[in-house]
Amino acid sequence: SAFEWVARRVVQELDHGGDLIPVTSLQSSTGFKPYCLVVRKPSGSWFWKPRYKHISLSIKDILEPDAPEPVLQHGGPFHIHDTVDGQLRTSVEVAVPGQGKVAGGASVSDSSSTSLNVFSLSVGPNTWQALLQERHLRQPEHRILQQLRCRGDNVYVVTEVLQTQKEVEVTRTYRREGSGLVSLAGAMCLQGEGEGHLSQKKTVTIPSGSILAFRVALLVIQSDLEVILFPDKKQKTFQPPPTGYRPFSSKGSWWM
């Protein structure tokens, strides 16, 4: 989709090779706000990654509600400018105010020019420490957490997001004789397109404040709550059941 394309492009420019996760649909974008809880759907394949799914719960829903709301740190805005020359995209530039360009583009074309402003919102490491010292797990445990505990699913909390600063209209334009082109048209941007070559257009409007990408930390829920910013593969949200307990069909056993 056009939205997913934009999200991927932004992640590629701002966090290439990092652990920011692009949001795949505009519809689910609001579910990935800071402090929201998400689960990672297991993948049945070695060839496609597990997907994150929001569960309509925030960390505030599982903690005792008697502390002031912690603030978020703002970063950016980052200005992403994408230039298209009518055949293939030729350059992408990312500029951070006060720091100049952080990634350079090469050529400039007058056929199509695109622009997008995003900023980051993140929970500082000290905020986590303070939050977890002052607030404790709500009892009884939330029903959704109970279900996830039964399934042994890991639960993650969103710690950072990239959001659009202004509404942006994204148009994917296809030329009969050429490659697919993407252009963004926001309040601050110019858009120029050739005439007479277009055969198909798809447009989506991304509202301001839409989340394009997010970063997560693992929650470990025992007697208290821990937020693990850099989890290792062995760490789990819920303690495994005692030895000897076997849920219906440990799946591997059937195959064996």
Partner 1 sequence: DLSMKGCIGNFWTDGVPVNGTVTEDFQGLRAEVEVVSKELALMDGQLCRLLLEGLERGLRDQLALQALEEALEQGLSSGPVEPLDGPAGAVLDCLVLPSRMLVLELAVPVVYLLGALNTLSKAQHQLLVEAVELKTLSRQLELVGSLLEKSAPWQKCSTLSLPPELLKSGWGVETPAWVLLEECGLELREDPPHVHWEPQAQDCVCALYASLALLSELSQE
| Residues at the interface with partner 1 (CB under 8 A) | 1, 4-5, 8, 12, 41-49, 51, 88, 150-152, 174, 176-180, 199-200, 247-252, 254-256
Of 12 and 91, which CB lies nearer to partner 1 in the complex structure?
12
Q: How far apart are CA 116 and CA 232, in angstroms?
A: 35
Cβ 142 to partner 1 shortest distance, Å: 18
Of 154 and 165, which CB lies nearer to partner 1 in the complex structure?
154
Of 119 and 174, which CB lies nearer to partner 1 in the complex structure?
174
**Cβ atoms of residues 135 and 181 within 8 Å:** no
Q: How far apart are CA 34 and CA 31, in angstroms?
A: 9
**Tokens linked to 200:** 């198909």
Cβ 69 to partner 1 shortest distance, Å: 32
Q: What is the 3-class SS of 154-182, one letter each residue?
A: CEEEEEEEEEECCCEEEEEEEECCCCEEE
Cβ 190 to partner 1 shortest distance, Å: 23
Cβ 70 to partner 1 shortest distance, Å: 32
Of 126 and 249, which CB lies nearer to partner 1 in the complex structure?
249
Backbone angles phi, psi at 166, to 5 degrees: -130, 160
How many residues are there in the chain? 256
Of 114 and 165, which CB lies nearer to partner 1 in the complex structure?
114
**Residue 35 CB contacts under 8 Å (≥ 6 apart), including other chains:** 58, 59, 60, 123, 157, 158
Cβ 215 to partner 1 shortest distance, Å: 17
**Residue 218 CB contacts under 8 Å (≥ 6 apart), including other chains:** 154, 155, 156, 227, 228, 231, 235, 237
**Cβ atoms of residues 163 and 74 within 8 Å:** no
Of 41 and 74, which CB lies nearer to partner 1 in the complex structure?
41
Cβ 254 to partner 1 shortest distance, Å: 4
